[in-house]
Structure 1
Amino acid sequence: MESSTVTQPWAIAVFDIDGVVRDVSRSYRRALADTVEHFTDGGYRPTPADIDRLKGEGSWNNDWKASEELIYRYYESQGRDRNTLALDYETIVAFFQVRYRGKQPDRPAAWDGYICDEPLLMSADYLQSLSRAGIAWGFFSGATPASARFVLEQRLGITPTVLIAMGDAPDKPNPTGLITAAQQLATNPHLPAIYAGDTVADILTVRRARYEASDRPWYAVGVLPPHLETASDRDRYAQQLTEAGADCVIEGVEALTSDHIQALLA
């Protein structure tokens, strides 16, 4: 199934992947916590709330960079200057990848890490329903291309025609990748586009797209990630997304039906 089957779409839906298509609370976030714990010699393991607070700053969509930043902040809390620390970013990335992908991180067919156990939050049937309703869809994610393709093609069973992943465009909240995805999904530059994501950086990406591609109406949909266990956690996170500029916040991505999209654009 491919998104290009929508020949005359009336709207575009672009989706983030982590926290939207798949639950990464026990995979990416677990690998992040493992990495920080390892490089602080067991001195600090960030909690889900710690990671939320960092990502709430809007600049830490890349989990490798987020890991590095939390390591730096831990040592700063111990009175050390980050400029004196001998951290090697590539070593941090390599450790993270072994945890997340497995002992052969460059061979997707051999992956046996946390990525293999990620619950899916979106179904192929849901995407088919959008196609039938005349909505073109694609993906823009900070995940690596290999990781994104693994979940979309091998886990979800789809072959999207539009996938902008890490390295294809600058990191969010730079809107280049989102704008490119929308352009690839439909030639009409005035067609409304929705971006569904679960972080402040995702919402800020939409806000910036409104300035850089102002001919197109842009809508930001906040999706509550599944690691939020209590009602108060969800309310607090929803408020954070709303304050960042989300046009609406939903409990899960499949709540973004064609009827919901029509109401949003009305």
Structure 2
Amino acid sequence: MTKQTNTIIIFDIDGVIRDVSGSYRRAISDTVEHFTAQAYRPTPTDIDNLKSEGIWNNDWEASEELIYGHFVNQGKTRAQLQLNYQEIVSYFQTRYRGTDPENWNGYICNEPLLAQPSYFQELTQSGIAWGFFSGATQGSANYVLEKRLGLQSPILIAMEDAPGKPDPTGLFATINLLENGSETKQTVVYVGDTVADMHTVEKAKAVDNSRTWLGVGVLPPHVQETAVRRDTYTETLMKAGAKIVFSNVQELTPGQIQEWERK
């Protein structure tokens, strides 16, 4: 029987388990461009700068904010604009999921995976409990976890299940599902790629200081294209509370967990 460790690992999905620079982020840019009548297409850096504020984890809301920002810069007020949020969401989904609601044909179909099924098997074999807390929808999250990675009914708290990050409610809900009434795990590791993810850990710590909370940062692929962006993004995550920052999620090994447990 596998010896159980005293640690739970909970993963964000976007930018950690799958590369969304050509999907979610591309859909943000398409959506903003559409609703600004082709006047403004945000760059990856524009999107990173917005998300570094730590409150724009929801990409529909981030799209809306970038649209507002463009028009405010043109001298208009938010009250004048009266953007239709549902129209923004619907357009975004036609780009991300695609135009066929049954057989998705959008950007989601081509997201590169950043982790392999064998990685999760290794965690299980090492007695480490693991699950997912993501701002992605249930449909999108399960598409990558079950259809792409082949994971069997993984523990998942998604957009529909909890308030958006950095609210830690979803993190606690994931922990409850993983512990399932059994012995409380002392250490909780949350692995994410944004400031909001690290702030979620800090807020969880403020609610329950009886556990050890560790925020682990992962650099999404789009920030690793130049050393300057990589270093800047690393520093941003560390300032937001990350204990360590990896370039790929699979660098968080069972050995690394065991080393932390010994300290």
- Normalised-by-shorter TM-score class: over 0.9
For the structure 1 residues 240 and 212, does the alpha-carbon distance in structure 2 shift closer, same or farther, using more than 3 Å as the test?
same
Where 1:221 maps in the other structure, the secondary structure is strand
Q: Contact 1:6/1:136 (CA < 8 Å) preserved in 2? A: no
Return the offset for 1:152. Answer: 0.5
Aligned equivalents of 1:262, 1:67: Cα separation in 2: 40
Aligned equivalents of 2:258, 2:201: Cα separation in 1: 18
For the structure 1 residues 6 and 94, does the alpha-carbon distance in structure 2 shift closer, same or farther, using more than 3 Å as the test?
farther
Return the offset for 1:263. Answer: 2.7
Choose the corresponding residue for 1:173, options 145, 156, 166.
166
Identity %: 55
Note the alpha carbon deviations across 1:21-79, whole angstroms, 9 max, x for none.
Answer: 00000000000000000000011000000000000000000000000000000000000
For the structure 1 residues 166 and 7, does the alpha-carbon distance in structure 2 shift closer, same or farther, using more than 3 Å as the test?
farther
Where 1:193 maps in the other structure, the secondary structure is strand
Q: Does 1:86 align with 2:82?
A: yes
Query: Within 5 Å, which residues of 2 pair with 1:182-193?
Result: 182-186=175-179, 187-193=182-188
Return the offset for 1:7. Answer: 7.9
Q: Contact 1:138/1:160 (CA < 8 Å) preserved in 2? A: no
Q: Contact 2:3/2:126 (CA < 8 Å) preserved in 1? A: no
Choose the corresponding residue for 1:48, options 44, 48, 56.
44
Return the offset for 1:6. Answer: 7.2
Partner of 1:73: 69
Aligned equivalents of 2:2, 2:27: Cα separation in 1: 37
TM-score by length of 1: 0.94
Q: Does 1:28 align with 2:24?
A: yes
Query: Within 5 Å, which residues of 2 pair with 1:120-199?
Result: 120-186=113-179, 187-199=182-194
| Letter in structure 1 aligned against 2:118 | D
For the structure 1 residues 184 and 6, does the alpha-carbon distance in structure 2 shift closer, same or farther, using more than 3 Å as the test?
farther
| Letter in structure 1 aligned against 2:184 | P
Q: Contact 2:4/2:126 (CA < 8 Å) preserved in 1? A: no
RMSD: 1.4
| Letter in structure 1 aligned against 2:30 | D
Return the offset for 1:83. Answer: 1.2
Q: Does 1:245 align with 2:241?
A: yes
Choose the corresponding residue for 1:11, options 7, 11, 18.
7
Partner of 1:37: 33
Where 1:260 maps in the other structure, the secondary structure is helix
Partner of 2:202: 207
Unaligned runs of 5+ in 2: none
Choose the corresponding residue for 2:218, options 202, 223, 228.
223
The count of corresponding residues between Structure 1 and Structure 2 is 259
Q: Contact 1:183/1:189 (CA < 8 Å) preserved in 2? A: no
Choose the corresponding residue for 2:255, options 243, 252, 259.
259
